[in-house]
Homo-oligomer: A and B are copies of this chain.
Amino acid sequence: MLPNSYEPYDLITMGRIGVDLYPLRAGVPLARVDAFGKFLGGSAANVAVAAARLGRRTAVITRTGTDPFGDYLHEALREFGVDDRWVTGVADLPTPVTFCEIFPPDDFPLYFYRQPKAPDLELRAQELDLDAIHSARIFWMTGTGLCEEPSRSATLAALEARGADGMGDAGGVTVFDLDWRPMFWKNAASKNADPGEARSYYAEALRHATVAVGNLDECEIATGEREPYAAARALLAAGVELAVVKQGPKGVLAIHRDGTTAEAPPVPVEVLNGLGAGDAFGGALCHGLLAGWDLEQTMRYANAAGAIVASRLACSSAMPRPAEIEHVLAGGPVPAQEPTS
């Protein structure tokens, strides 16, 4: 049972959170950046924010350090309308910070400070509210959550709680964001990521998920395939009902188990910072699935949301509102960043 609330969440995400420090100017190497802006970041947090901006009741399951940046992440989640009740502190681990460089249109290197371990990888199965996870209309987890224990077991326990069909209560959706970040999978012995190790855990998670979302690199890690149709079919064969393959400038391919296929072209946009666009896409995908839209409409909507964030410097605070997405879908120009978050 949920304290103070018997209404299931529209969306519960589980995974990464941190502080993003982004250059306040684009096109400048890190060495020349004088000033950085501070933003809520981490893909699980960003997806929850994106769905909250679209009016959805969301919560995130994650952990921070017990430090001022941890306090900030709680404050930021609440300001964005994301429930932070399952965001707990880990003593002795600093809240992660991530720097990026912004070289439009397609180069956005990230520099993670998540050592010796990110608090979000300290999620533990026995501390999860499995009833809430079971009853959420959508549960969203990520590949990074599988990279290390105890987060891996906790993530798999949460998937178990969604039931054999991955639907939680009848009709629910379980999304696996394939989110492949090789630097988090470094094998201590070799200092290199082991995609084979990752693939076995990805396969286990795919058996519990109803939707898989990933770009071509991520699909290849999960399935061994990187041709979009082959990758989508492999994801369906691995257990999901809906495979969503993001092809960057080539748009999105979605194939449902029932044979329905949607190919959504990209929304033309002048990219300023591509980071966060995938999370905007994910939040909007959840919105469409919750609304019961058809596949084509859902993909077009999610694509537009991603394009809007790509055209803006920030990630979490750049997540669009419904009117902005509808404006773009109606053929209007991508709206400029709103003056306030």
Contact = CB atoms under 8 A, between A and B. Distances in A.
A94 B68 contact: no
A105 interface: no
A75 interface: yes
Point out which of A33, A99, A101, A191 has the most chain B C-beta atoms below 10 A from its C-beta. Answer: A99
Contacts of A34: 37-38
Number of copies of this kind of chain in the complex: 2
Interface residues of A, number: 29
A184 interface: no
Given A94-B113, A113-B94, A115-B115, A69 B35 contact: no
A141 to B, nearest CB: 26
A211 B24 CA distance: 44
A111 B69 CA distance: 10
A35 B31 contact: no
Point out which of A38, A69, A72 has the most chain B C-beta atoms below 10 A from its C-beta. Answer: A38
A38 B67 CA distance: 21
A71 interface: yes
Nearest to A92: B191
Contacts of A11: none
10 contacts: A31-B69, A34-B38, A35-B35, A36-B38, A69-B99, A69-B111, A92-B191, A94-B111, A94-B113, A116-B116
Interface of A: 21, 24, 29-38, 67-69, 71-72, 75, 92, 94, 97, 99, 101, 109, 111, 113, 115-116, 191
Given A34-B38, A94-B115, A97-B99, 6 more contacts: A30-B69, A34-B37, A35-B38, A36-B36, A69-B99, A115-B116
